[in-house]
Amino acid sequence: MSRVLIKGARCYGEGDPVDVLIADGVIAEIGSPEAAGDTEVIDARGQVLLPGFVDLHTHLREPGREDTETVESGSAAAALGGYTAVFAMANTDPVADNAVVVEHVWRRGRETGLVDVHPVGAVTVGLAGERLAELGTMARSEAGVRIFSDDGHCVADPLLMRRALEYSTSLGVLVAQHAEEPRLTVGAQAHEGERAARFGYTGWPASAEESIVARDCILARHAGARLHVCHVSTTGTVDVLSWAKERGTRVSAEVTPHHLLLTDERLATYDPVNKVNPPLRADADVERMRQALADGVLDCVATDHAPHAVQDKDCEWAAARPGMLGLQTALSIVVRTMVEPGLLDWRGVARVMSERPAEIAGLPDQGRPLAEGEPANVVLVDPEAGWTVRGTELASIAANTPYEGMRLPAVVSATLLRGRITSREGKID
């Protein structure tokens, strides 16, 4: 197996620059190792070495919408974004609600080999919210599904959610909820508030998220189950999560990069590239998301990377599909919103983008310390560099980035998966 020597990087952006030798898929030596003959050397002066990122929430669109993303193109986007593991949501076509589909996605991930692709299984058959999918079969399949979610849809029926949570405890798996009370969001297009009122968009009220999160925290506690809350977007949800965590509920939560940066001010563009579910919220919510991520009430960042075809975005707002690309921009947005204002240091970035998500998902070889003998799933970041986002230049087939033309800080200069370079200097290796 090839050897890589990373020269002059600072682990977690702390201490003196060190040389890190990676061999046989593990971190072999940290300090001043010698480069042997066939060792690939990366000049990493001024750069930060972090454990590879783990995304609990991504849409790879395969099978079904290969015109917008495939496991291959999405894996490339992930590697370029510094990810070494991603969880592919179940709302494909056909839905990943059975062992055949999850094994297909898992196998395509292995074939591509740029990032560990872990399929998420659906909680209910066809995401219809009516009866449980075969969670056990999917968990025991070759794909080894460990997270289940109807993401895109809420498991709204409280009895079904209760059963799912109870059942999950026997499998040691995690239910991740897309918290949206559907009766409160009929026809919803945008965050219910002053701006939606002005632009005439049907409001998506904060209460639709908060009421489900509160309910599910209570259900999880009674079931003795773990619960994960997808894409938290409101101040009230943070309050509910604080309360639940204080009383010992085993709940974890993620926030997306876009909910850390963008607000419903974007409605003024009329451009559905800014349409996403849950919607972009008010300024105060964004502020609270950042604070809660710093405090740990929100455990991690997850992209909700959602590729969409041009025709599904270049239309009137109500007809557009919700979602935005996120894998390649996530780190830069976290740096802009969390590192630059001093809310997180690089060790904090490692926590919210790698360690906590790996822990939540139960991945034994991800989010590990940068220490000798640990698996070499790492990312090298140039904190001083910047780049300008161009949707068409991203690795995804779709180009629906809300950051088009924006100059963002921090560049992923290399990603290594089990010691193999998967991306380097913005190119797939």
How far is 255 from 293, CA to CA, in rounded Å?
A: 8
Q: With binding defined as CB under 8 A, does residue 202 bind another protein? A: yes
* Whole-number Å distance between alpha carbons of 157 and 342: 41
Binding positions for another protein, 264-283, rule CB under 8 A: 270-271
Least Cβ distance, residue 234 to another protein (angstroms)? 13
- 3-class secondary-structure state, position 322: coil
Least Å from the CB of residue 337 to another protein: 25
**Of all helices (H) and strands (E), which one includes residue 140?**
helix 135-140
Residue choice 62, 72, 192, 355 for contact with another protein (CB under 8 A): 192
Tokens of 126: 């066809």
Using the rule CB under 8 A, is 201 a contact of another protein? yes
- Separation between Cα atoms, residue 429 and residue 425, nearest integer Å: 9
Give the span between the Cα atoms of 332 and 257, in whole angstroms: 9
Beta carbon of residue 405, minimum distance to another protein (angstroms, whole number): 16
State in angstroms the smallest separation of the CB of 283 from another protein: 13
Query: Least distance from C-beta 241 to another protein, angstroms?
Result: 23
Q: Is 198 in the site for another protein (CB under 8 A)?
A: yes
199 lies in the site for another protein, by CB under 8 A: yes
**Cα 110–Cα 111–Cα 114 angle in degrees, nearest 5:** 70
CA of 299: how far to CAs of 20, 30, 110, 155, 358, in Å? 29, 29, 28, 22, 11
Q: Could you tell me which stretch among 47-55, 197-205, 252-260, 395-403 binds another protein (CB under 8 A)?
A: 197-205
Residue 284 found at the interface with another protein (CB under 8 A): no
What are phi and psi for residue 270, nearest 5 degrees? 60, 5
Residues binding another protein: number (CB under 8 A): 23
Give, rounded to a whole angstrom, the gap between the first and last alpha carbons of the chain.
Answer: 16
**Counting Cβ atoms within 10 Å, is residue 183 exposed (0-12), middle (13-18) or buried (19+)?**
exposed
Asked if 205 touches another protein (CB under 8 A), the answer is: yes
Residue 286 buriedness (CB in 10 A; 0-12 / 13-18 / 19+): buried
- Which part of the chain contacts another protein (CB under 8 A), choosing from 58-66, 243-251, 312-320, 350-358? 312-320
Tell me the closest approach of the beta carbon of residue 78 to another protein, in angstroms.
31
For residue 42, give both structure tokens: 């990366």
Q: Is residue 194 close enough to count as binding another protein by CB under 8 A?
A: yes
Considering only 316, 342, 364, 405, the residue that binds another protein (CB under 8 A) is: 316
| Using rule CB under 8 A, residue 371 touches another protein | no
Q: Name the DSSP class of 410.
A: E
304 is catalytic: yes
* Angstrom distance (rounded) from CA 261 to CA 332: 11
Cβ neighbours around 92 below 10 Å, total: 23
The catalytic residue among 150, 304, 312, 382 is 304
Nearer to another protein, 3 or 65 (CB): 65
**In angstroms, what is the minimal distance from the CB of 306 to another protein?**
20
Whichever of 134 and 271 has its CB closer to another protein, that residue is 271
Residue labelled with tokens 């292995």? 110
Q: Which of 181, 317, 383, 408 binds another protein (CB under 8 A)?
A: 317
Considering only residues 1, 36, 100, 315, which one is a binding residue for another protein as defined by CB under 8 A? Answer: 315
Q: Which is nearer to another protein, 242 or 269 (CB)?
A: 269
Separation between Cα atoms, residue 250 and residue 247, nearest integer Å? 9
Scanning 84-92, 224-232, 307-315, 345-353 for contacts with another protein by CB under 8 A, the matching segment is 307-315
Instruction: Figure out which of the listed residues 21, 48, 117, 196 binds another protein, where binding follows CB under 8 A.
Output: 196
Q: Cα(397)–Cα(395) distance, rounded to whole angstroms?
A: 6
Whether 209 contacts 184, CB under 8 Å: no
Write out the residues near another protein by the rule CB under 8 A: 189, 192-203, 205, 270-271, 311, 314-319
Q: Please identify every residue annotated as catalytic.
A: 304
